[in-house]
Amino acid sequence: SQTIHQWPATLVQPVGSPLSLECTVEGTSNPNLYWYRQAAGRGLQLLFYSVGIGQISSEVPQNLSASRPQDRQFILSSKKLLLSDSGFYLCAWRDTPRAHEAFFGQGTRLTVV
Amino acid sequence: AQKVTQAQTEISVVEKEDVTLDCVYETRDTTYYLFWYKQPPSGELVFLIRRNSFDEQNEISGRYSWNFQKSTSSFNFTITASQVVDSAVYFCALSEAQDDYKLSFGAGTTVTVRA
């Protein structure tokens, strides 16, 4: 069966520090991968998605970037965090066809101080 | 423009009451999918159901039921005989063929079931 791992679970970082969140999927190949952000008390905003290695689509211009160095690995990064980057970050994967449901990791709660 | 509207921000019920969550979507696409997810306090989103635009048949799964009506662009979710474990945030989502099937989520409805 497929599983998705996301870490760390919680993170407190100072403003201006770098960020690296990692997500890996097991039990499937060539998944579609997604990064979402959920601000406190709000819905989910799609940040990035990837349909294959090295292929990244950005949905919202911002202080973040994403990379997919391996088939089942998706990384969310920032060179310098802002206070507004605080939130709950969720990684998700989807099989083909992309019309089907996405399955989510347990999320990373990021607090920028 | 918001593609998925969940007008109810919070709903509070007493255990065993029924609760209905509203979801209204907006699309010009003929091929699209609708979803419901549950987010318990732990934070992970749990997939509940998927419906495609060509299948308006309602569905029941245990205490959960879904009413899909294309005429009103609605995909409502009912929890029958609610339990404390149903307390969570529930999200409705839409994916459209013309938008590469990306998931657009509503703002969510927080359901609190009191014992």
Tens digits of pLDDT across chain A (113 residues): 889 999 999 999 999 999 999 999 999 989 999 999 998 777 899 999 999 999 999 988 678 999 999 999 999 999 999 999 999 999 999 987 677 899 999 999 999 99
Distance from B39 to chain A by nearest Cα, in Å? 10
3-state secondary structure of A74: strand
CB proximity under 8 Å: A 81-110 to B: 88, 90, 92, 97-107, 109
Distance from B95 to chain A by nearest Cα, in Å? 7
- pLDDT of A23 reads 96
Q: Which residue has the tokens 């998944």?
A: A31
Token code pair at residue B40: 């318990």
Cα distance between residue B61 and residue A42, in whole Å: 27
Q: Does B100 touch chain A (CB under 8 A)?
A: yes
First CA to last CA distance, chain B: 38
- pLDDT of B69 reads 95
Short-list B77, B64, B35, CA closest to B52: B35
Q: How do the pLDDT tens digits run along chain B, 115 residues long? A: 679 999 999 999 999 999 999 999 999 999 999 999 999 998 999 999 999 999 888 888 999 999 999 999 999 999 999 999 999 999 999 999 888 889 999 999 999 999 9
Write the residue in A42, A49, A106 that is nearest to B43 by C-beta: A106
Cα distance between residue B55 and residue B69, in whole Å: 10
